[in-house]
Structure 1
């Protein structure tokens, strides 16, 4: 070697670019994106199923003519939902039935009596029917969702 050659200090290579990311980061991003899409799809399907159940409930009650038939239709819908949630529970009667259908005693006793006897031989105020309908709609949905768990 010649002594005339200039000595150079050690030089570092240029810093790596931040783009494109390494393949590992792309795979992690893809998995996260796939999980988000799957969760959104499941949420959408659950929402759609819930809306369909509530629409069926409303259609069933829309075909009733008076309070007696509406209460009978509500009782029938609750029996059907209870059967789907836990087969054999449609055969329960009296206290066992009410324990299954209303475990938290959320329905008031006068409304419970109306639903149990079907409002035979008396007039029922519209606000009582509306209260029973609201409660039954929510309970119907809870029973059908219980079936899915």
Structure 2
């Protein structure tokens, strides 16, 4: 007893339950959920775009005449090159091949593959088997350049 006052024992209240969470936690959960759906949507959009680009490349280069296939590959690579540099379609010869290999450790468009790309549309007696290796390298570079944002 202090100065006539009677002190009572302290009774602690019960701890708040974990459910339902406070409104701030609902906002955090909603923001995380929106972020997860946003990232998932972005990834799916990139995947769909890549598939469309692959289908475009395959459709353009699926001919039976090897010379036409090489011409289509060259055209698609020039179209993709313009996305990287506006004057890329004006490059010719070794400058064009160097531009295709720019930023790569392994040069894919030198030697026979590069010569086939430069001259293949005009070579008589070209076989589709000769173009398969060039087509694979060009497909990879086309997708790499066109899928950029």
Q: Deviations over 1:84-118 (max 9, x none)?
A: 33222101112221121122312351121111101
| Residues 12-51 of structure 1: pairs in structure 2 closer than 5 A | 12-51=12-51
| Residues 1-149 of structure 1: pairs in structure 2 closer than 5 A | 9-62=9-62, 64-103=63-102, 104=104, 105-118=107-120, 120-124=123-127, 126=129, 128-146=130-148, 148=149
The TM-score normalised by the length of structure 1 is 0.84
- Structure 1 runs of 4+ aligned residues shifted over 2 Å read 7-10, 121-125
Q: Deviations over 1:16-71 (max 9, x none)?
A: 11111111111111111111111111111111111111111111112x23111111
Give ranges in structure 2 of 5+ residues lacking alignment: 1-6
3-state DSSP of counterpart to 1:111 = helix
The structural deviation recorded for 1:13 is 1.6
From the superposition, tell whether residues 65 and 94 of structure 1 become closer, same or farther in structure 2 (CA, over 3 Å): same
RMSD over equivalenced CA pairs, Å:
1.8
The structural deviation recorded for 1:14 is 1.9
How many pairs align? 139
From the superposition, tell whether residues 19 and 12 of structure 1 become closer, same or farther in structure 2 (CA, over 3 Å): same
The TM-score normalised by the length of structure 2 is 0.84
The structural deviation recorded for 1:9 is 2.8
Structure 2: distance between partners of 1:143 and 1:9: 75
